[in-house]
């Protein structure tokens, strides 16, 4: 079944897109020279685009960077780089593949960072012991090609809920509608936010901290007429607060808490007892940008 280099010409099909890389490469970096030392835990994925078609057509591997070599590279650059922000490290990693291999046209690096902090200890913090401090993760995706670099950062799995200041009414009522209108519902969601930058260089850590803080505060403070409106308010507030962000996309699942009907049991539910549901859920999406 081995085929010669001429295989492509004789085929009735053609390779219109291709890429490959290494997924779920998990790296822990300790920087012992810092005062105090730092602990960083990230999961990295690489994806390379380039002149790899011969490998698909003929099994010709001469231009293939083994995914095992990509894995090595992740650790090697992890050792050389400060890893101060996942974005800066991801840019270094993407650029490495482009500079090292002339037939690679584009590299995408995706990173998830589990956020840890020092263990609190009698008012202070223990310098060399750490605890995973939050349920939400920080993420980044870096794309670098021969023309440009695009950086996207984000937050995933940030669980929030508000117990008042959330309404939902005035929506379309037709023969498919059974949902009642409400002026006071629970609004619970898991924030998934991704933003793009005005320029490749930014203070990524500061942007992340501010964006997370502003989204939480806006969610808390907003009088919500719909999940859509709160989504917009959050995105708008982030753009107001962080000059370096050009555009932000949010996905908010509407994780419904349904009022449990206590009337069959001779009781009244004064908006306090809810069935928390995990499915189905509404999914609200929106991308907010600065006006040009």
Q: Looking only at residues 70 through 99 of this chain, which bind a second copy when binding is defined by CB under 8 A?
A: 71-73, 75-76, 78-79
Smallest gap, in angstroms, from Cβ of residue 57 to a second copy?
A: 6
Nearest to 210 by CA among 126, 255, 262, 153: 153
- By CB under 8 A, tell whether 124 contacts a second copy: no
Should residue 6 be labelled a site residue for a second copy when binding is judged by CB under 8 A? no
167-206: contacts with a second copy (CB under 8 A): 167-172, 174-179, 186, 188
Smallest distance from a second copy to CB 38, Å: 9
Q: 124 vs 146, which CB is nearer to a second copy?
A: 124
Binding mask 231-270 for a second copy (x = CB under 8 A): xxx-xx--xx------x-x---xx--x--x-x-xxxx-xx
158 within 8 A of 136, measured Cβ to Cβ = yes
Catalytic residues: 22, 67, 256
> Distance (Å, rounded) from C-alpha 166 to C-alpha 217?
15
Q: Which is nearer to a second copy, 102 or 203 (CB)?
A: 102
Task: Tell me which stretch binds a second copy (CB under 8 A): 9-17, 139-147, 148-156, 196-204.
Answer: 9-17
Can residue 105 be called a binding residue for a second copy (CB under 8 A)?
no
Whether 192 contacts 252, CB under 8 Å: yes
- Residue span binding a second copy (CB under 8 A) among the ranges 38-46, 85-93, 141-149, 194-202: 38-46
Residue showing tokens 């840890």: 116
Between CA 220 and CA 227, with CA 226 as vertex, the angle to 5 degrees is: 65
- Nearest CA-CA partner of 6 in 57, 53, 52: 57
To a second copy, the closest distance from the beta carbon of 149 in angstroms equals 21
β-strand pairing of 257-259 with 104-121: unpaired
DSSP H helices in 222-252: 227-241
Q: Is 45 in the site for a second copy (CB under 8 A)?
A: yes
Among 99, 102, 126, 206, binds a second copy (CB under 8 A): 126
User: What's the min distance (Å) between Cβ of 159 and a second copy?
Assistant: 4
Q: Which of 99, 203, 206, 220 binds a second copy (CB under 8 A)?
A: 220
DSSP bridge pairs for 193: 155, 250
Contacting a second copy within 133-152 (CB under 8 A) = 133-135
Quickly count: other Cβ atoms within 10 Å of residue 228's Cβ.
Answer: 15
Residue 170, judged by CB atoms within 10 A of its CB (0-12, 13-18, 19+), counts as exposed
Query: Cα 141 to chain center, whole Å?
Result: 8
Window 51 to 70, contacts with a second copy (CB under 8 A): 52, 55-69
Q: Which range touches a second copy (CB under 8 A), out of 40-48, 87-95, 138-146, 195-203?
A: 40-48
CB 145 within 8 Å of CB 200: no
Question: Tokens in use for 117?
Answer: 């902090």
CA distance 84 to 74: 15
């Amino acid at each position: 079944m081995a085929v010669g280099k001429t295989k492509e010409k004789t085929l009735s099909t053609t390779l219109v897109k291709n890429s490959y890389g290494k997924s779920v490469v998990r790296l822990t970096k300790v920087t012992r020279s810092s005062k105090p030392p730092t602990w960083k835990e990230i999961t990295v994925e690489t994806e390379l685009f380039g002149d790899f078609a011969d490998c698909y057509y003929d099994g010709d591997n001469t231009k293939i960077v083994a995914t095992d070599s990509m894995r090595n590279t992740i650790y090697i650059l992890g050792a050389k780089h400060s890893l101060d922000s996942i974005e800066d490290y991801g840019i270094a990693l993407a650029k490495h593949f482009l500079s090292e291999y002339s037939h690679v046209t584009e590299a995408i690096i995706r990173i998830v960072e589990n956020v840890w902090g020092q263990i609190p200890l009698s008012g202070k913090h223990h310098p060399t012991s750490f605890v995973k401090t939050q349920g939400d993760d920080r993420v980044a995706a870096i794309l670098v090609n021969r023309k440009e670099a695009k950086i996207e950062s984000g937050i995933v799995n940030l669980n929030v809920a508000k117990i008042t200041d959330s309404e939902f009414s005035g929506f379309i009522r037709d023969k498919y509608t059974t949902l009642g209108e409400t002026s006071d519902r629970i609004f619970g969601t898991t924030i998934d936010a991704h933003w793009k930058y005005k320029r490749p260089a930014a203070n990524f850590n500061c942007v992340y901290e501010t964006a997370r803080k502003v989204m939480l505060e806006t969610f808390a403070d907003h009088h919500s007429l719909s999940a859509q409106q709160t989504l917009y308010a959050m995105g708008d507030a982030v753009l107001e607060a962080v000059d370096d962000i050009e555009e932000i996309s949010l996905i908010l699942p509407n994780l419904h808490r349904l009022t449990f009907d206590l009337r069959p049991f001779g009781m009244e539910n004064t908006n306090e007892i809810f069935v928390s549901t995990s499915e189905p859920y509404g999914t609200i999406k929106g991308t907010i940008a600065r006006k040009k």
